Chains A and B, each alone.
Chain A
Amino acid sequence: MVSYIFRRVLSTLPVMGIVALFVFSLLYIAPGDPAAVIAGDQASPADVERIRQGLGLDRPFLVQFGTWVWQILHGNLGTSIFTNMPVSAMIAQRIEPTLSLMAITLVLTILVAVPLGVVAAWKAGSWVDRTIMAFAVFAFSLPVFVVGYVLAFVFSLQFEWLPVQGYTPLAAGLWPWLQNLILPALALGTVYIALIARITRASMLEVLQQDYVRTARAKGLDTRNILFVHALKNAAVPIVTVIGIGIALLIGGAVVTESVFAIPGLGRLTIDAILRRDYPVIQGIVLLFSFLYVIVNLLVDVTYTLVDPRIRY
């Protein structure tokens, strides 16, 4: 197992290299010019050109790419064209809100979606199953920003229970931290809950038809034990897979959620950087997300061995 993990971690290096080349090339050929954005609307074309030269954007592709790779090999993600701050410092400023949002969403999703899916499978064909699946279809169809606005209207403006926007660091206390994350996590998690609930139901339905479940029932095991201890464990592999894939969805969804709830996370930083053509920041974030995704996939693979002893690496 240890050698497997080591090999998988090593295999991330070429993946990251390909991602780096791809992202850099894409940004190089994409239209847009950070110098024009910096110079502002009143600047003359000559001013824009001077700023471009000052930023080194007039240099050949290979020179720019080589400089960037050299910096990365030295642990330096570069400096933002706009803020003049190190990209790593900007990411450090923004990573806590995003990870917090993803963590709360993930916990919320698992706590809600898995039991819903299990119950739907258990009561397959009944009104309970139909209600849960109707909710899943409905939730799956809702754009994140609509859910966000509705939640903000109800819980912030009507009931005045929670703030509309912003983020409070965990260091300021658990409740202040949670207070700012509940609505965004609910908004972001709605689609994800629907997805996991449906997958859980499908996977459980298959397992519940197995002979050993019938045997367990015949032996007099109580339903809760059958569902959550025996059946769920055997149905877990596809669920864990989808949770892993869903983390990519969370990253994408965080971009919208952070904008709607004005959370200063990596999603908003990404959007701002793209709109301004802040190339070093875009490259740094994409590299980070690629790395995170590779690690999540690794964790998913490792989790398989925990839920299914037949799987060995």
Chain B
Amino acid sequence: MDRRTVLKGLAGVGSLAATGGLSMPALSQGAAARTLKFVPQANLANFDPIWGTQYVVRNAAALVWDTLYGLDATLQPQRQMVESEQVSDDGLVWTFRLRPGLKFHDGAPVLAKDVVASLTRWSARDPMGLMIKAIQNELTAVDDKTIKWSLKAPYPKMLLALGKNSTPCAFIMPERIAQTDPFKQIPEYIGSGPMKFAKGEWVPGAKAVFEKFADYTPRQEKASWLAGGKQMLVDRIEWVVIPDPATAAAALQNGEVDWWESPITDLVPSLRKNRNINVDIADPLGNIGSFRMNHLHPPFNDVKARRAVLAALSQEDYMRALVGDDTALWKPLPGFFTPDTPLYTEEGGEILKGKRDLAMAKKLLAESGYSGQPVTCVVAQDQPITKAQGDVTADLLKQMGMNVDFVATDWGTVGSRRAQKTPPGQGGWQVFHTWHAGADCINPAAYNAIRGTGDKAWFGWPTSEPVEKEVLAWFAAKNLDEEKSAVKRLNKAALDDVVYAPTGFFLSYTAWRKNISGIAKGPLPFFWGVSKSA
């Protein structure tokens, strides 16, 4: 009997127990109803959304900092802090006007100079920001409310860049804070979002507290993801970090917490049996599993070896290892873009469909010149998603006749080792696994992992001129049809060159107590519109 079995069994039996109130916090009923206790997917270890780009930081930052635009549930950027915008006929000058009544948490009004400083810091770190910066003439505050961004070339995706939810988001901070070096942490956490960060109550690794900002002026439109009126219906949100999933499940069942962002799939059946708990898909955009190969060193510097992997790889094996037998949680993905989004395509994806062809894989591998040298597969054991993928990959590569050097380690080590370009025998690697949020894979804008810019590309450093050509075509596209055409070609080019091997599309659950209402499905937990009854 292993730890996971014990954990699952106890949580399962525990779900049958009635919930009680003995362990409720020592708050009055009214105060308890105005305090939402939330278990985040990870520890909020730092709180600078430009410096540290982990999703958990972005999720917390969305409470505290606002953005000029926000992506809505239809994936369109909508005005958020901005009242109006104008773009010149030649597409070279963008002018934005801030809406009235915006204030920072220290009481100061939000001014154009704050926006200029914030966008300057953001554009030094964000992939889209870097593109804009590369064609920037100047970014200036015309007056207190007006910002002008003049460019040397048109940038049609400007509003998407300013409103996207992939990290780092273009959060607006006071000028004095935004002037911090983008590669160093900010010293204060003052924003203009609907909640204030209670720095004094922050216990990194255990608790983070957000309090309602009384002077926040929400937009009048209905809230939709990061867009619309961010109406806060609770006064206080406490993020309670519970590292152990069984404990988090028990705390939710016991009423000690209200909302658990990411329950592990093993525990979902038992949570579902509890009459006081709702369980649903967290984010319809889901995630894409990634088998990342190093294009710099043999055998995967040869496209035939990479294609051999695609020919043999069974996405079903990967997905079942990740999410178990719940078929509602995954689907095959013969491509790189998020299913059920406008640009989704399977162009060129035949190699990932149908019966897996091990004989073809072995033939391709032999043609690549592979002759039994060790293939270093670096697998983080402390991340269930990477561990499950790594185990399947080890089996797959062995079936293909490869000599697998399986390096079982932790995510911190993988994060460091994957940056090594040296040969595998000298500290480098040939394979690692990760996953990409589906929200980042709806288009090429923030999709670093699909780029083929060689030395400047994401880990694995693929070089692919056809891929880069189509990425640029998408950026230049003037309408959805042009975007779709570009992405179709891009998908095919990325599969032909095997930029990476997608291991499938998978979803995850979120769980909350039934006295909580207003939880919206989306790529991050949206707290506006969420209320709690006593």
Contact with B along A27-56 (1 / 0, CB 8 A): 000011110111111111111111101100
B22 lies within 8 A of A261 (CB) = no
Q: Return chain B residues, CB-CB under 8 Å to A39.
A: 52-53
Given contacts A31-B417, A161-B22, A264-B206, contact A40 B52 (CB under 8 A): yes
Interface residue? B253 (CB, 8 A): yes
A163 to B257, CA, bound (A): 11
Consensus secondary structure, chain B interface: loop
B residues in contact with A164, CB < 8 Å: 23, 247, 250-251, 254, 256
- Given A157-B254, A272-B43, decide whether A51 and B51 contact each other with a Cβ distance below 8 A: yes
User: In this assembly, does A3 line the interface, its C-beta being within 8 Å of a C-beta of chain B?
Assistant: no
User: Among B51, B411, B419, B448, which residue has its beta carbon within 8 angstroms of that of A38?
Assistant: B51
CB of B409 closer than 8 Å to a CB of A: yes
Q: Would you list which residues of chain A between 82 and 114 have a CB under 8 Å from chain B?
A: 82-85, 90, 93-94
A 149-165 binary contact with B (CB < 8 Å = 1; else 0): 11011001110111111
Q: In the bound complex, what is the Cα–Cα distance between A164 and B37 (angstroms)?
A: 15
Tell me, in angstroms, the Cα distance from A161 to B21 when the chains sit together. 9
A259 at the interface (CB under 8 A from B): yes
Is the Cβ of B7 less than 8 Å from the Cβ of A43?
Answer: no
Q: Are B45 and A259 neighbours in the complex by a CB distance under 8 Å?
A: no
- Residues from chain A with a CB closer than 8 A to the CB of B3 are 143, 145
27 of the cross-chain contacts (CB-CB < 8 Å) are A32-B412, A32-B413, A32-B415, A33-B415, A37-B412, A39-B52, A40-B57, A45-B459, A47-B183, A51-B51, A54-B181, A83-B45, A84-B187, A94-B203, A152-B10, A156-B23, A156-B254, A160-B22, A161-B22, A165-B242, A259-B244, A260-B244, A262-B242, A262-B244, A262-B247, A264-B205, A275-B382
| A170 close to chain B: CB less than 8 A | no
Q: Are B446 and A157 in contact (CB under 8 A)?
A: no
- Complex CA gap A272/B203 in Å reads 12
Q: Which of A150, A166, A176 makes the CB contact (< 8 A) with B240?
A: A166
Instruction: State the total of A-B contacts with C-beta under 8 angstroms.
Output: 178
Among A42, A43, A93, the residue within 8 A (CB) of B203 is: A93
Contact with A along B112-129 (1 / 0, CB 8 A): 000000000000010100
Residues of chain B with a CB closer than 8 A to A268's CB: 205-206, 243
Q: In whole angstroms, how far apart are the Cα atoms of A146 and B4 in the complex?
A: 11
Interface stretch, picked from B12-20, B155-163, B313-321, B500-508, is B12-20
* Closest Cβ–Cβ distance, residue A79 to chain B (whole Å): 10
| B250–A40 touching, CB < 8 Å | no
Contact A149 B240 (CB under 8 A): no
Establish whether residues A46 and B251, one from each chain, have CB atoms under 8 Å apart when the complex forms. no
* Most central of A53, A85, A260, A262 by chain B CB within 10 Å: A262
How far is A144 from B523 in the complex, measured between Cα atoms in Å? 36
Q: Tell me if B456 counts as interface (CB < 8 A to partner A).
A: yes
Complex CA–CA separation, A31 to B415 (angstroms): 10
Q: Given the complex of chains A and B, what is the CA–CA distance between A271 and B205 in angstroms?
A: 10
Measured between alpha carbons, how far is A31 from B416 in the docked complex, in Å? 7
Interface residues of B in 183-206 (CB under 8 A from A): 183-185, 187, 203-206
Q: Mark A257-279, 1 if CB is under 8 A from B, else 0.
A: 00111101000110110011110
Q: Does B413 lie within 8 Å of A31, measured CB to CB?
A: yes
Q: Which residues of B contact A145 (CB under 8 A)?
A: 3, 6
B419 touching A42, Cβ below 8 Å: no
A50 to B203, CA, bound (A): 27
Is A33's CB under 8 angstroms from B419's CB?
yes
| Contact with A48, one of B167, B185, B419 (Cβ below 8 angstroms) | B419
Whether B419 and A276, one on each chain, are in contact in the complex, defined by CB atoms closer than 8 angstroms, is no
Contact indicator A275/B416 (Cβ below 8 Å): no
Contacts of A163 in B (CB 8 A): 22-23, 254, 256
Contacts of B379 in A (CB 8 A): none
Q: Contact residues of A with B, CB < 8 Å?
A: 31-34, 36-51, 53-54, 80, 82-85, 90, 93-94, 143, 145-146, 149-150, 152-153, 156-158, 160-166, 168, 172, 176, 179, 259-262, 264, 268-269, 271-272, 275-278
B434 close to chain A: CB less than 8 A: yes
A280 to chain B, nearest CB (A): 13
Chain B residues positioned under 8 Å from A160 (CB to CB): 17-23, 254
Report B184 CB to chain A, min CB distance, Å.
Answer: 5
**Minimum C-beta distance from A154 to chain B (A):** 10
Supplied contacts A46-B456, A165-B240, 9 more A-B pairs, CB within 8 Å: A36-B412, A36-B415, A40-B57, A44-B458, A49-B419, A80-B204, A168-B26, A262-B251, A272-B43
- In whole angstroms, what is the CA distance A177 to B12 when docked? 29
A177 to B: closest C-beta gap in Å = 12
Once bound together, how far apart are the Cα atoms of A137 and B485, in whole Å? Answer: 70
CB contact under 8 A between A275 and B412, given known A46-B456, A146-B6, A160-B20? yes
CB contact under 8 A between A157 and B253, given known A31-B417, A84-B187, A152-B247: yes
Q: How far is the CB of B197 from chain A (nearest CB, A)?
A: 13
Q: B3 — nearest CB in chain A belongs to which residue?
A: A145
Q: Which residues of A contact B53 (CB under 8 A)?
A: 39-40, 42-43
Q: Check A262/B243 contact, CB under 8 A, given A157-B250, A157-B254.
A: yes
Q: Which A residues are in CB contact (< 8 Å) with B382?
A: 275
A206 to chain B, nearest CB (A): 39
Determine the distance from Cα of A145 to Cα of B5 in the docked complex, in whole angstroms. 12
Q: How far is the CB of A173 from chain B (nearest CB, A)?
A: 8
Flag whether B80 is at the interface (Cβ < 8 A): no
Contact (Cβ within 8 A) A54 B183 = yes
A179 partner residues in chain B, CB cutoff 8 A: 23
Bound-state Cα–Cα, A38 to B256, Å? 30
Q: Is B456 in contact with A156, judged by CB distance below 8 angstroms?
A: no
A33 CB contacts on chain B under 8 angstroms: 412, 415-416, 419
Residue of B nearest to A79 (CB): B185
Structural contact, A259 and B243, CB atoms closer than 8 A? yes
User: Given contacts A156-B254, A165-B251, is CB(A264)–CB(B207) below 8 Å?
Assistant: yes
A50 touches B251 (CB 8 A): no
B247 touches A165 (CB 8 A): yes
Residues from chain B with Cβ under 8 Å of A153 in the complex: 10, 13-14, 250
7 A-B pairs with least C-beta separation: A264-B206, A163-B23, A36-B415, A160-B20, A33-B416, A40-B53, A32-B412
* Interface pair A149/B204, CB less than 8 Å apart: no
Closest chain A residue to B15 by CB distance? A157
Residues on B with beta carbons closer than 8 Å to the beta carbon of A54? 181, 183-184
Q: Which chain A residue has the least Cβ–Cβ distance from B206?
A: A264
Q: How far is the CA of A56 from the CA of B53 in the complex (A)?
A: 20
Mark each residue of chain B from 234 to 250: 1 if its CB lies under 8 Å from any CB of chain A, else 0: 00000011111011101
B416 and A172 within 8 A (CB)? no
Interface check B54, CB cutoff 8 A:
yes
Question: Is there an interface contact between B412 and A262, defined as CB atoms closer than 8 Å?
Answer: no
Residue B46 interfacial (CB < 8 Å): yes
